[in-house]
Structures are given as C-alpha cells and as structure tokens.
Structure 1
Amino acid sequence: MLKIKSILVSLLAVAALASCSDNGETTPGGGDEKSYDAAYMSISLSVPKASRTRAGSTETGALESETKINEVYLILFDENQKVVKDKDASTYYSILNSSHLSADGTSPLEPFKVSFATKYLLVIANPGEKMKAHIATKVVENATYTDINTVFSVAEDITADDNLYLIEEVARTTGPNAGYTMINAGEFDDSDPSSANHKWKDDCLLDVSGSIIDASKYKTEAEAKADAVKNRAQLQIERLSAKMAVTLKGAAGVDIEVLPAGAKFAFAKWTIDYVNSQFFPFAKKTKLTSSHTGTEYKTNFYTVDPNFASPNHRTSIILNQIEDYEPKVKWYDANEENVTDEKVKKVAYSTENTMAAADQKLGGATRLVLKANYVPSGYTMGQDWYQSSLNGVYTNYETLIKLQEAYGIAKALDEDKRDAAQKALVISCEAFKTKLDGIYSAISAIADFAALTQTDLDNLGITNGGEIAKGTGVRWFQKSLNYYYYEVRHDNGALGHMEYGKYGVVRNNYYTLRLTKVNGAGTPWYPEVEEPEEEIDKEGAYLHFEINVAPWISWATDFEI
C-alpha cells in the first residue's frame, strides 16, 4: 500500500457568548456555560504501514524517511474559500514544527487558535524554500484558494553539478532539512450512482465544518478540547515528488535480450533528465482508465502541471548540461530483480511533469538516460570501437585500424570515383582528426588520420571520447561506452497512440522500470533530443521499459532500449 500521510484533524470552534447567565443550558461536564472567545484546532498524524502488489497500478509502502513530518503549514478558509485567521494571529497561516509536535512527530503538543469562520483546511508539510516563499507571498489578507494555488518555480542554475537542486525543492533526502513536501491529496467523488460521473474534485480543500464543536456547551476549555479530539476530520496528504527505480531482468541483467544476436550489453548507471522546474502546490487530477488496487486511493490519476499544454509544454523543462565533454548529472545504480525490500532498493526522486495528449513530445517529457557497455557480435567488451554513417545507416568497425583501412581504400580513389558512403567516410575521418587537433596538441603533431594510433588516443587520458567526437561523423565508442534514453511511461495500460496519460511523471507515483531488451547500440555521447517537437510514440522508439508505477501509486513497466 502506498504509505501516505493521513492527518487527523480536530477542530474546536468556540462561539462567543454575550452572557453565560442568559443561557440556561447545561454543559456535558455539568454547571453553567462559560464564555469563551477563541476557537482551536488540534491535529494528529498517522502513517499507514501495509503494502500491496497487484496488476495495474497498486500501492507501495513508503519508507519512514518518506513519511516523516518535520514542519506543517496550516491554512484555513471560510465558506467562500477565502483565508481566515484567529484575531490574534499575525499571519494567515500557522506553522507547527518539531517544538510543537510530539517526539514521534505524529501529533501536536497543544491545540492552537483558529477563526470562528473556519470551514476548509489546507495542509502543506515539509515545504521547500520556494514553497515557503510562495506561501509567505500568497497567503495574505483576502487571498483565496485560487490565488494561493498558483505557479511557483525553481530558477535554472547552470553552475550546479547536477539537477538535484530542482528535485530538492520537493524531495530532500539528506541534511538537517530532509523531508518530502506534501499537500492535501484531494477527493475522488464516487457518490453518483453512475461510475461515468465519478471524478476527482478540482480543489483539494478539506471541509472541516462537520468537526466543529461549540465550546460554549462545555464547562471548561479543557473539556471542550478533549471532546474535539474525539471528533476528528481525517485528511490525506501526498508527496509532490515522484519516485523511480530501475531494475535489470534476471540476476545482474543476465536475462536482458540483446540484439542483434551475439551482441553484448552490460548496464552501468542511470540518471533523470528533462526535469520540470514549475509546480502547482496542488495539481488538478483526472482519473485514468487503467485499474487500480489499493486502500489509500480509490483510483489512480494523472495531473495537470503549469506547462501542461502547447505552446508552453517545453517551458521550464531543465536539461542536464555537458561541461568539458562530461555530463553534469547524478548517476544512480540499478537494482537486482530479486530485491524486494524497499529499505535497500536504489531509488531516485523527480519533480512532476505531465503533458496534454497531443503535447507528449520528446522535448517536453522527463526521461531516463542510461549508460552501459555495448559491443556488436564478435567484439571484445570494453574495447574501443567505431561507426560511420550515411543517411541513418551505420557501419561498424571493430578497431581504429579497421576504420583506417576503410578510410584508406576510399581516400586512394579519385574523389569522383568514390560512392556516397566513401565520400562521407573520408570527410568524417578527417573531421575527427581535425577536431582532436584543436583540443590536444599531441594529436595535432600527428601527420594525418591514417597515422593516428589507438595508443595515441589512449594516452589522452580521457573517459568520454564519444562526446568529443560528436559532430564529426565518426562515432567513437570509447571503452564500449553507450548512452540510451527512455521517456518515462506513466499509465502502462494506455496503449493507444499518444493516449492521454501515457507518458509523464506524476506526484506521489512510484515508477519501477525493468529493463528487458536492448535493440542495438546507443550513442557514444550523452544523448540530446534533436527533434524536440517529435511525438514520443514513433516507430523505432529508442528505448522500451516494462514499468511498475505505484499510488505511493505504483506502476511496474518493462522497457527496452
């Protein structure tokens, strides 16, 4: 089962009385009514522990670190969804931190004052710095829920070593401020007799009016507060982040199918790219057609994020950077298929990134990038090998010497005697040498491409030669290094072409991606999207995974690359 925080909210609204002697009603504790001019709220936090694994989307138990609440922001609204506060409060939001919470973080030490006009509640737990600034700016006098639930973002930082600064706004895994940002999960309304009319409500506010207790009917405030605790309103909150894990089919990936026959593949690492930097505090949800099994959620869902549709579907999508021919990324390990203990699984977190059906394009979708070793049949794993190409058709060369032999044959011909492939090969090989000349003086001292040796290249002491050779026409798979990418699949039951909800990363969903098949070589450089407006669903898609996504909703999906 998805381990979601459930916040049990007790409200105590206390009506002000003109005079207790004017009212002859008795209190539950006996004696006359008392005149109180305050209202109180009390909350307690519970964490479901169970886990489920079923077909379709399921629910997977979360780790303690993923459910721990260190700080809670409480925002109250009246019947018109306008913010309200206690008359003595200085802000329209209240903060509960560790000093206000019990040792285990599950309940506050004391109730706190609220407005008499309170009807709705919004809870934001463990907010990041940008979310805190958003709350401070937006939650002000006369603000409405609509005013507050607007876009906030994290600015791109091209000096950062990787994209963790984006993800840490919603998922901080280490440090003194570790925690996962959470907010009301919203409500799926299935009250209509017809399932066709069942849907997620547009907002996420919890109606707490049914949990209000009139303190004037109690002898003391203490008795009223105690009774309020018994009349809790239950609130479910969920994480703004998504969770991902990559699993290899078979022990150490031994059962991964590798094509063409005889080729070899050895997985190395993976990372997350094309990360969204824009957020809604609460993202409007829609129900998917795929089945869901679980107890915390009635159904799975897809969401609408700030850059959901054209023309803004690529706005604020942050790409990983290349510096000195090396990708600036955080690399993650894959899991063995037999690892089922969530506490030892290797995982990563991501921000939400969703798309309208027609806007599921390569340039706007969050993707995985994998690096691995791959060699064609008969080649030695770990060796340098090369490719040339013409119109998308690639020719493999087992060694630099083999490439030079083909180059020598083409070079020896008069230019008008060379066929198209030979012309392209000569141009590419000479461009390869020219580019290296401009970077390495040791290479520029060598007469020409034909005189270059593998030892010359090895002595450069570089690790990403394919990145350096990019653009020359020669693909240099240094030490057999290959890169692959895969657009994250959300709804693995969506089989139609560009079907709504098919791709994307959704908050509080857990994507387990099992690599099952490799269709050939990747690229020797960190992959870029050459045609960002191309549809993801295209013939010959680069990767394919089998996905298991969790509500945490979970999906399990096989994929191939």
Structure 2
Amino acid sequence: MGKLKFFGLLLAAGMFAACSDNLENAGNENDGPKTGEGYVKVAINLPSVSSSRAFNDGTIGSLDDGTPDEYAVKDAILVFFKTTSTTGDGTPEATAQFAKAYNVSLNPAGEDVDHVTNRHTVIGEAPLPADGEKVYALAILNVNGVFTVDKANGVLKKNGNNVFESTKTLSALQTAIATTAAKCTTTGFMMLNAPLANTTTTSGFALSNVKTLVPVTVYESKNLAENGDVASIYVERVVAKVTLTGFTYADSKYTKTVTADSGDPFNGDKVEFEGWTLNYTNKTLKPVRDVDAITTWLGNDYGVVSRFLGDSKVDGKDLYRIYWAKDGNYDVSYGGTEGSDAKEAFNVFTKPEDITTWNTNTADNKTDSEDYALYCLENTMDYDKQVTNQTTSLILKTKYIANPDAAGTGDQNFFMYGTQEATYTQTQFLTNVGTALSLSGGTTASLKVGATGGTYTYIPSGATAGAGDYLNKKDVKNLIELSSSADLSDAQAQTLITKLGEIKFYKDGDSYYNVVLIRHFYDDETSWDAGETYGTKHLGRYGVVRNNWYEIKVNTISGPGEPTIDDDTENPNPDDEEEGYIKCQINVLSWARRSQSVDL
C-alpha cells in the first residue's frame, strides 16, 4: 500500500517570542503614554524539520516542500490587537482587542532554499501601545481580495464588510466565509497564523495553552525596529491539497489492469484513467483554524491523544502542532433532499454532466503528482457526523474495457445485472432479455435509441424516478424496446427486472468509482470494527484539514465501478460502510505529506 502523506507549511523565523515579557513600547523610558504609529519587525520562514509523528512501520519521513507556487507570497496584511493588565495578557486570543490593520510590503526576493522561498522579513507599521498595553499580531498572506484594509481608519474588511471594531477580539474573524478553494488560491495561497500549543502535558491542558496571536515589540522608529527583536509568525495555508497516483503511463494513456482472484471474470480486464475530481468539498472557510475544542479532544474518551497534539518542537521552541480542527459546519447534521442544507453546504456532484472540469492527470511514470493537485477547503465533522454526504471524497472517471483482446481493446457497451459477478456484451445481454421475456414470433429486443448509462429497474406508474427507493435508478422501459420500436409494457418491465435483477448499463465502457473517502487519521489511531457505531475514539477518522497534503494511491482495482455517479445526499451511509468495495490504508506523516492507498 502507498503512503498518504501530509504537506505542512509553517512560516517562522528565529524565536516565537511567546515567552517574551518585553512587549511594551521599546522607545525611551519615562516618556509617558505613546500614541500614533510605531514599527515592528516580523520574519516569516519555512520549516526545516519534520514532525515526530511516524508512519505505521515506525519510520519518520522527511518534509516535502511542495511546489514554488504553494510557497509564493504576493501580498500581506498585519492585524494588531492590544491587551492591558485589566483585560488579561495570558489569553490574548480571547481578550486582546482589535487595534489596527496595515498593508505591509514584503521582501520581494525572500531568502531561497532549493526551489522555495525560505524567509520573508517585514518591517512594518504598528500601533504604539500605551503604558501597560501589550500588542499581538495576526498575519494574513495572499489575501486574494477576500480581505482589505480601509486605509483611512485601519479597519480590516472581509468581502467588503468590517471585520473588527475597537472592542472586537479574534473571534470576530472566525465567522465562516462563503468562499471557494479557487478564490483562496488565485493569487497565491491564502495563509494565516497557525494555532500552536505551548505544552505537551495533557493533564490540566487548557485552551490558554494554545497560542494563535503572536506577541510583538513595537518601536518608535523604523531604525529601532530594524535593529530590534524579530517576532516570528507561524502561518499555514487555508486549503488542503489532494493528489492521485497509482496508474501506469504508457502510449499517452494512464491504465491499470484489474486484479482479482484467479478465475474471477473481471481478472485481467483493463481500466483506462480519464479523470478525477473531488466531491463534497466545503463552501465555507473559518479564516483561522478553529481548535477551541482541543481540551475535549485530549480527554480520555478520545483514545490516542497523540493524533491531536504533536510532541515535536517547532524550531526547537516549546511550541507544538495541533492536528485537528473544527470547520464552520462541524456540528451540523444535514438532510439530503434537493435544496437542503447538504447541497447548500457542500459542492456536490450528482451526475457526470454536473462536473464541468475533470482533472485529467495523475503522476506515475511522469512528473511529480504535486503538478496535478486539486485543492479544497477544510472539511471536518464530529465523530457522529462521519457520513458520505458530508465527507470530502474523490470520484474517478474511467473507461472500463471488459474482456480485452490482444490489442487491448474489448467490449464497449457492456452490462451487469442481478447478483451476477460478470460482464455481458450487448449481444449477450439482449439475448438474455429475449429469453427472460419469452419473446417469439420474430419479436426481438434492442437498446432504445438515446439510452444512457446507468442503473435500470422497474419503476411503477406514478413512482418518481431518481428519488426514494428509486434514487440513482432509471426506468428499464427507457433502456429496452421491442421490434418496431414498441415500448415494454409494465408487466414486461416488471418481469424483466424480476428475472434478471437491476441492470447496470456501462455505455461506451464509462465506469465511475464514486466514493474514495479521504481519511485523516490512521486505522490504529481511530480503529473501527465492522458494524461498530462511531464513538469519540473515531473522531478524525475521516475529513480534510487545512495545510495537509492527501495523496491518494489507487493500489488495486477489482472490477467495474458504477455506470454513473451516484447521488447519496438523500440516503447517506456511515463512511466505513462504503469500505466494502473501496478499501483504504493510510500512513500518516504529519505536516509533510500523507499517502493513501485504495482498492476499488
């Protein structure tokens, strides 16, 4: 099985300054309260060490850099907050109040290591603190037009609306934004401060142990700032990354041979890869990753604590990464009917024609898979919400060639029906239809002109195709006609399905593998047994978290997928119940890359 690795981005430099007590005005002493603008020095760097979280075999992998575009920084905003002795400086995330926001100029070249920028240094304006005040910073990189600064008053705006007023805290930023991954990556990858823990001691762990805002020293002059302390801000991308591998590239095609048991009718069939896309991707984003429930996650009922809290220091400092998050619809249960919350909350593809773009590239035997990535917003859910209509998944579009000949071609239109684990050519299928209907007197069965791929069944008069018991089903009277273009009668349609079972028509060999659910944590971290009801120990088994790279490797294909993309928004299954025909193994390396193998 392959490895599903993570990519991680922490921009950091020098010291985090979380332990610094020298946060007040660093100008001349005894000058009284300061007003107006001062200056701060901020360094933004890439990480150089991997996490301590190990693969299942016990080894620790190295950090994967990703592509230059994923590290490019085009513009930035620094947002400042203040606390006083009365508002409390030990919990700035909860108590620090918005002061002012500034557009800042970056070092355009940065400092390069290999093919990515390693460091940006910023000397920028900041509000001078009054006596007793402390100042904290939030960085927003690659704002992509989502955030702007009103230069007249320094107010931060989000999609044109004010985010903060003078008394607002960081929580004002956390209202979910209606946006897309594309919007957050158009001009560089949007990044904001990463929440980091200042301890790995879980006993007595409190939310105040998590630091998102960074303390800064504000100087009265630019010259003092240039020669002063550097405040390091760790940021992370707001999107997750997904890539696909596992097909063999030859003769301008990606292919895979079906591997099944000896004697299995599918064994040796050929699958040609045509494209892939993501299903159930979130439409909303919390700008800063929400880990407010970490004290709950670290409780005894949640099993392996290390899956939530790392024990490897960031840049050698007493700062530790957190591996889970709450998105904007984390606790919501969705219905699935048309126009429901499920369709409003997620980008849902219910049939092939709804997908306007397929990613037609994978990686094997060509260049790195990162060149062919898709990106999505964070999509997480509570343990009891891990169902197929809320979990980000991958859809594969393929051409399935049943019984390939020596030239590698074979049946185009083919059929499966009932419980038969076999494919039938169009000629074989129509012969079986004639037998099932006891056709005689020269009457023959043929495919109806314009019949499309899909699953066909008998739908009684008055019933609605594509809903309820007939969700994802088509009327067999739209598949088969008799001589002289005669439609099947209701009795004939019912007889045909009774004798053959539901019929899957793979038009031109089109075959879709509808559900490759993206898993976040290892099996041994969130172990699940068949028939088990999800509990707290399964939290994080499925989902996608920002700044993680999920590499899906198609390990084996054991037979045809589905003739079309199923819509399961109305009748979702628990995620693991889909694993009967799609089996996943995930090996995890935190904050680098993750790899996942699947059996289709």
| TM-score after normalising by structure 2 | 0.67
Query: 1:464 — aligned with what?
Result: none
CA distance in 2, matches of 1:549, 1:448: 58
Query: 2:113 — aligned with what?
Result: none
Paired residue for 2:169, among 117, 125, 144?
144
CA distance in 2, matches of 1:201, 1:386: 61
Alpha carbons 1:517, 1:544 under 8 Å: kept: no
Paired residue for 2:506, among 477, 486, 511?
477
CA distance in 2, matches of 1:107, 1:530: 45
Greater mean deviation of Cα atoms: 112-121 or 374-383: 374-383
Alpha carbons 2:275, 2:358 under 8 Å: kept: no
> Displacement of 1:504 after TM fit?
0.5
Alpha carbons 1:269, 1:332 under 8 Å: kept: yes
CA distance in 2, matches of 1:376, 1:183: 49
- After superposition, where does 1:364-443 map in structure 2 within 5 Å? 364-376=390-402, 381=409, 383-387=411-415, 389-390=417-418, 393-394=419-420, 396-412=422-438, 435=478
Query: 1:94 — aligned with what?
Result: 102
Query: 2:245 — aligned with what?
Result: 247
> Displacement of 1:544 after TM fit?
2.5
CA distance in 1, matches of 2:68, 2:194: 19
The question of 1:206 aligning with 2:213 is answered yes
Query: 2:566 — aligned with what?
Result: 527
CA distance in 1, matches of 2:278, 2:582: 14
> Displacement of 1:336 after TM fit?
0.9
Query: 2:124 — aligned with what?
Result: 111
Opposite residue 119 of structure 1, the aligned amino acid is V
**Secondary structure of 2:241 counterpart:** strand
CA distance in 2, matches of 1:93, 1:543: 48
- After superposition, where does 1:29-178 map in structure 2 within 5 Å? 38-48=37-47, 55=55, 59-79=63-83, 80=87, 81-85=95-99, 92-96=100-104, 100-105=105-110, 106-107=119-120, 110-116=123-129, 117-132=133-148, 133-134=157-158, 136-154=161-179, 166-172=180-186, 178=187
Query: 2:363 — aligned with what?
Result: 335
The question of 1:496 aligning with 2:527 is answered yes
Alpha carbons 1:121, 1:207 under 8 Å: kept: yes
Alpha carbons 1:322, 1:328 under 8 Å: kept: no
CA distance in 2, matches of 1:250, 1:84: 54
Per-residue deviation, residues 413-437 of structure 1 (Å, max 9, x unmatched):
69xxxxxxxxx99959xx8785379
CA distance in 2, matches of 1:270, 1:365: 16
The alpha-carbon distance between structure 1 residues 483 and 200, as it changes in their structure 2 partners (threshold 3 A), is farther
Opposite residue 126 of structure 1, the aligned amino acid is N
CA distance in 2, matches of 1:294, 1:348: 29
Per-residue deviation, residues 18-40 of structure 1 (Å, max 9, x unmatched):
769xxxxxxxxxxxxxx996432
The alpha-carbon distance between structure 1 residues 12 and 409, as it changes in their structure 2 partners (threshold 3 A), is same
Query: 1:29 — aligned with what?
Result: none
Greater mean deviation of Cα atoms: 52-61 or 329-338: 52-61
Alpha carbons 2:40, 2:218 under 8 Å: kept: no
Per-residue deviation, residues 414-472 of structure 1 (Å, max 9, x unmatched):
9xxxxxxxxx99959xx8785379xxxxx99962479xxxxxxxxxxxxxxxxxxxxx9
The alpha-carbon distance between structure 1 residues 272 and 258, as it changes in their structure 2 partners (threshold 3 A), is farther
Alpha carbons 1:75, 1:93 under 8 Å: kept: yes
**Secondary structure of 1:336 counterpart:** coil
Alpha carbons 2:359, 2:372 under 8 Å: kept: no
> Displacement of 1:191 after TM fit?
5.5
Paired residue for 1:278, among 284, 291, 298?
284
CA distance in 1, matches of 2:358, 2:561: 20
CA distance in 1, matches of 2:203, 2:258: 41
Alpha carbons 1:76, 1:118 under 8 Å: kept: no
Opposite residue 128 of structure 1, the aligned amino acid is N
CA distance in 1, matches of 2:96, 2:283: 28
Query: 1:467 — aligned with what?
Result: none
Alpha carbons 2:281, 2:392 under 8 Å: kept: yes
Greater mean deviation of Cα atoms: 474-483 or 273-282: 474-483
The alpha-carbon distance between structure 1 residues 432 and 388, as it changes in their structure 2 partners (threshold 3 A), is farther
Query: 1:538 — aligned with what?
Result: 577
CA distance in 2, matches of 1:197, 1:554: 31
Opposite residue 496 of structure 1, the aligned amino acid is S
Greater mean deviation of Cα atoms: 134-143 or 520-529: 134-143
Query: What RMSD, in angstroms, separates the aligned Cα atoms of the two structures?
Result: 4.0
Alpha carbons 2:404, 2:410 under 8 Å: kept: no
Query: 1:559 — aligned with what?
Result: 598
> What are the ranges of 5 or more consecutive residues in structure 1 without an aligned counterpart?
21-34, 86-91, 155-165, 173-177, 216-220, 415-423, 438-442, 451-471
Give the length in aligned residue pairs.
470
> Displacement of 1:373 after TM fit?
2.6
CA distance in 2, matches of 1:47, 1:78: 27
> Displacement of 1:367 after TM fit?
0.5
> Displacement of 1:170 after TM fit?
2.3
**Secondary structure of 1:537 counterpart:** helix
The alpha-carbon distance between structure 1 residues 224 and 292, as it changes in their structure 2 partners (threshold 3 A), is closer
Opposite residue 141 of structure 1, the aligned amino acid is S
**Secondary structure of 1:266 counterpart:** strand
**Secondary structure of 2:564 counterpart:** coil
**Secondary structure of 2:575 counterpart:** coil
Greater mean deviation of Cα atoms: 268-277 or 488-497: 488-497
Paired residue for 1:179, among 182, 188, 198?
188
**Secondary structure of 2:107 counterpart:** coil
Alpha carbons 1:84, 1:115 under 8 Å: kept: no
The alpha-carbon distance between structure 1 residues 327 and 130, as it changes in their structure 2 partners (threshold 3 A), is same
The question of 1:190 aligning with 2:199 is answered yes
**Secondary structure of 1:93 counterpart:** strand
Query: 2:302 — aligned with what?
Result: none
**Bigger relative contact order, structure 1 or 2 (CA pairs below 8 A, ≥6 apart):** 2
> Displacement of 1:559 after TM fit?
1.2
Paired residue for 1:356, among 341, 360, 382?
382
> Displacement of 1:482 after TM fit?
0.6
**Secondary structure of 2:276 counterpart:** strand
> Displacement of 1:369 after TM fit?
0.1
> Displacement of 1:95 after TM fit?
1.4
Query: 1:257 — aligned with what?
Result: 259
> Displacement of 1:128 after TM fit?
3.4
CA distance in 1, matches of 2:457, 2:96: 71
CA distance in 2, matches of 1:185, 1:548: 23
CA distance in 2, matches of 1:130, 1:223: 32
Query: 2:8 — aligned with what?
Result: 2
> What are the ranges of 5 or more consecutive residues in structure 2 without an aligned counterpart?
1-6, 18-22, 88-94, 111-118, 149-156, 299-304, 335-340, 441-454, 460-473, 489-500, 529-533
Paired residue for 1:308, among 330, 337, 344?
330
Alpha carbons 1:244, 1:513 under 8 Å: kept: yes
Per-residue deviation, residues 120-179 of structure 1 (Å, max 9, x unmatched):
21111112344555274212222111222222113xxxxxxxxxxx2212223xxxxx21
Alpha carbons 1:190, 1:197 under 8 Å: kept: no
Opposite residue 277 of structure 2, the aligned amino acid is T
Greater mean deviation of Cα atoms: 178-187 or 71-80: 71-80
> Displacement of 1:284 after TM fit?
2.3
Percentage identity across aligned positions?
17
Opposite residue 257 of structure 1, the aligned amino acid is T
Alpha carbons 1:189, 1:201 under 8 Å: kept: no
Query: 2:492 — aligned with what?
Result: none
Alpha carbons 1:305, 1:353 under 8 Å: kept: yes
> Displacement of 1:368 after TM fit?
0.1
CA distance in 1, matches of 2:222, 2:388: 59
Larger radius of gyration: 1
